Structure 1
Amino acid sequence: MRKNFLVLSLAGVLGAAAYAGPSEVDATYDCHHDIMGPIFEDVCHGTTHSSEIREMRDRGILTGYSDGNFHPNETIIRGQVATLMTRAFDIPVPDTVSEDLYPDVSASHHYAPVVKAVTDAGIMTGREGNSVFDTGVTLHRQQMASILMRVLDMNDVERAEGNGVEVTDLDDALAVHQDNIQALQAHGITQTTDGTFRPMEPVSRSQMATFIERTLAVLYTDELGLESMEMVDPYTFNIHFYRDIRDEEWNADNFRLRGSTEHLEVIDDQTLQIRTDYRLNYGQALVLYYKDQRTTLSYERERSDIRNVNVDINGARIDVSGEFPVDFDDSGFYIVLEGPDGFEESAEKGAGLQMDGHRFKASFSRLVPGDYILLLDSGNYGREEFEITIEEFDPTFSRVDATTDTIRKEVGQTLQFDVDGLELSVDELAAEGFELIFNLTDGYELTDSSGGFDASELAHRETFSYTVAIRDEEGTEITSDSQEVLVIDPNVPVHISPLFELDGNFMSRFVRLDHTGAQLVFRGQNYFYESVPTEVFESITIKEVTSSHPESAEYDLEEGLIVHETGDTEHVTFDISFEEIEETASITLPVYGYTPDN
């Protein structure tokens, strides 16, 4: 008869588990000056196994040493593993042991209570014919596989079938462990890039943290009855169960992919449909959390090509346009034109590339006749390449365009124009017998006849319009369409990133009860994606901060962050407005209504 001893109580699991490879934690990097600081004195955020170490620390499963270090690369011994098994999987531990357990584990032995607990549960057994337990002996990877698979087996978790990845060194393991190694790999608990398992290698403390975290995710997924996840559209996902869920009550707040869950609906007896406010772009992945606990369900969206690309050749000018499947606002997208005699010109966001939702356009002008290569590179959306030939053209002018749509709130700005795709100067036009005429919205004036403009006294986001006309010696005039110009103050932050600061420490991933009093501070970029000096934020006053869950945490303009002692974890969004600027900011992060033990 199976023993079902596991009672899952995973409150406090943070963030998406990073499926790291087998490499160890880099203990040479000093992260004490990083915004988040270290997890332990010798474990930095973002290093291999760090997210799992943090989660196991916050849940009290793994602890550090008295000097504040974790010693992530230190091998773990069987006595320590017995302790971890009882903590991680809620195995009851007796207060006292009345009789000797093994010849090397007396009733008064330090590890006696946990050794008895794991032995009675059937999770760990003795060595050398069950004659000794060897609490101080290093645990090897093949032994770890068998221990964790016993946890899954005793909780009636069906063994996963092979996932197509071969364990290439399985024959190096003892026969008694081989099935367990294969099953562990099929569950995704062990993952290596080269297909090897290295069964005889010892397990480090950092690796054990990752193995336990992944095992907990498998158990939790099985307990919920989760089977798979599929995308309906970039905002909507179907969550499939292998059991009937119609008679259960489901709360949208308990589910987390990315962003907030806006709608939840049971669409058949085994399927929940979730709609979020976050759009999953091509090449991105999601992991499903339920009540802030990671499951093994994830979804990765495949990459897609740029669509409906149109290349229009107008004399010495090339106009290119196209669209993406969904709204796209990524500064990593750029267009490059390569041509004769080493010619190369590029357009990117804020510098010649215009984005409007999922559509884009750019122009290249004043091109000489010859062969060109047009390259569109969008990262996640792939690349498109076109061969283009510019023919000899008649320089008779038939079209003029006003081309400036954005200027900086500074002196020395210039309103640009081109004529039949040629970027000509006033002098060049005059030499051909043409006069250039600018017409601006009433109240706006140029500083010179070439389009010079002083925008230093205008307001941020102020707009005006202008047209450009060319007139030949016979008085024939061609006028451009009206072009609206947006004035942008480069010292105004537009893309604002808030974080909390307390006693010189910065928190952007989570806050907890003992972070009460932390103040909001800001970093950011301007409209042109240039970094805004920190002193700019010192002159900006917070107008209001609203909390999505004020019962868990709120922000007082005088007292700062207030975290309420709830004993639970809640994802809270703080929306921030300012007195001096229209731009707003927000930050969403887990809030612990308690102080985790280290």
Structure 2
Amino acid sequence: MKKFSVLSAVLLALTLLASPALAATDLPPSHGFYEEMTYLLGKGVVSGYPDGTVQPDRIVTRAEAAIMIGKLKGFDGTPRATKFTDVTKGQKASGFIAAAQEARIISGYGDGTFRPYAPITRGDMAIILSRVFATPIFGPGQFRDVSTNMKAHDAIYQVLGANIAAGYKDRTFRPMASTTRGQFSAFLARGLEPKFKNDTHMAGTYLRDKTKAYTYQYAGNITQKHTYVNVPTYMNEPLGFVWSVDHSKGLQDYYLELESYEVYGIGYPRSEFFTDLVYPVKVGTKFNTDSFLQPPAQITGVNVRVVTPYRTFTNAVEVTVPDNAEFEVESFKYYMVPGFGNVKTVDKNGAVGMVLVGVE
């Protein structure tokens, strides 16, 4: 046993010495994007500089973004001619720029230029990431500084829905702001790995942990397990990371939890979005009053105690859906918990329709 421990320590030391992150003199563990950059350094998507730095706070140029995307996609970066008048074969990034342009991931300007040394903006970043990763569902809410006539409008809400990028507390996205190497690394890491997507969740979020599996029991003793997985294609189209429902009969459904500073709900691939809660949470607030998809609901309690087989919650929000003839719905209540979403649903007679039974 002692012999094994010594050997393990030696191997661990060698691994740490070879770590790109430790070789980066300007990337301490305390840096906000340390884990994301370390992750991408290990994958060879991000590389350091000859002086031993990675410069996480340096602004990313359009050429550097093309290089990072090219390495992630495995493109041939051998320098070559491009279709852009300002990107020659002799430029370091020319091969990656050409390959990314041919893959329709990046594009230039109307004057035939690419402007490789210009900073890449958050809006441009959203466009690129929406093409690199599957982003089938628009995020909810509305940014004050993103208008419908913006080129990046759709892409911004797509990367928001995919938990790749998030907005700011002041309800802005800041599409014209420049992006740092650390920030761009974070966006790429979130597109590749679920645990990094959790970083986009706002404080007090009702979204669940994407690295865990949640099991629910439904009326009729039906059990379902919900896991966050990467589904490359669905109905012959890219789908990406979604919540997958494994039914007892072997069927599968896919959906996404979506949240903004105004609303939380469930979205289905290339289909509808259903609102489960609105913010700020306040007793008496009514919502879905003009929806043609779901009946009106009202927040009827906060800090409610709810017992489930998994555990007892004391911070649940009670939402009541009253009788509604138009939707053919009989009154029921459901309970939303921060970090867990909907944990329990009961009908007007107290019968449980759905309840959380396990998290692993």
TM-score when normalising by structure 2? 0.49
> Relative to total residues, which structure has the larger helix share, 1 or 2?
2
Instruction: Give 1 or 2 for the bigger CA radius of gyration.
Output: 1
Q: Taking CA–CA contacts closer than 8 Å with sequence separation of 6 or more, which of the two structures ends up with the larger relative contact order?
A: 2
TM-score when normalising by structure 1? 0.31
